[in-house]
Amino acid sequence: MLPLQDPNAFADEEDSDLVRENKKVVPEPVDFSYIERDVILYNLGIGSTEKELKWTYEGDEDFQALPTYGVVPMFSSMSSLPLDWLPNFNPAKLLHGEQFLSIKSPIPTSGDLVSEARFLDVLDKEKAASVTIIIETRDKSSGKVIFENQSTLFVRGAGGFGGKKTGRDRGAASATNEPPPRKPDAVVEEKTSTSQAALYRLSGDSNPLHIMPEFAAIGGFDQPILHGLCFMGIAGKHVLKTFGSYKDIKVRFGGVVYPGETLVTKMWKEGSKVIFITSVKERDSIALANAAVTLVDPSTKAKL
């Protein structure tokens, strides 16, 4: 039996009865198939250009998916774990708090994958719930793990169910990643396109919050906002181009980004880690914090 198929894989004696029962839910695996065109669409969606042929032309000898493509296959499987068992659950009050992606194997540029999702940790924050879902994505034919995602969702108004209030140490997935007290080793700026969200949504996240002004207004925004996983991908591209390949990336979403704004990623290399912060230049506001990658080759120096 695979770990995610064991109903008791994530049992915790500190959990309330409500959480304990829902942690036992084992949804059916969800298939995900993609072709080279989908990889190009994603790479374009996080700002790759026509000059970067290894990311935008399938005929390039080094054609590849950017590493954060690993967040795309998880979407359909996350919906297999409903949250309506939480007290006073309202999907309009759900926020994406943190994301961790581990790249376990080289990313195919096309393929047939299968993803499985489980509740990893559920915390009672009294006025809210913090829910971490783990999603494992495998190659359908070989069974080899390609990606592991851990998505932490913050659900306002859904607390008060008892049990744990603080989560366990999950290594790189829960690290605080505080920048060291020195100037960054590298800084990259990139202006997003006003069409960035309209393009990125074609990779699977079709939430109208990112395209419909009327829907964005209901959420309290002046205009549609950029997907958090889109600006995570842009920042991940900044780190990749500066320090090279990495095997995992973790971010905390600190604020909104509007399509057309400029993202500034400040990076500090600390051993095998690159800690980074991404902010919006026009409003001097934090977009990503507590963020870091683990480099494949820790000896890599910044390409400035």
Catalytic residue positions, numbered: 205, 210, 225, 228
Please report where in the chains the tokens 């990658």 appear, as a residue.
293
For CA atoms 119, 72, 302, 279, the dihedral sign is: negative
Residue 94's nearest CA partner among 107, 109, 82 is: 82
Task: Tell me the one-letter amino acid at 159.
Answer: G
**Token code pair at residue 21:** 């029962």
CA 181 vs. chain centroid, Å, equals: 27
Phi, psi values for residue 203, rounded to 5°: -90, 0
Q: Report how far apart the first and last C-alpha atoms of the chain are (Å, whole number).
A: 47
Residue 197's nearest CA partner among 257, 254, 255, 149 is: 257
How far apart (Å, rounded) are the C-alpha atoms in residues 113 and 93? Answer: 31
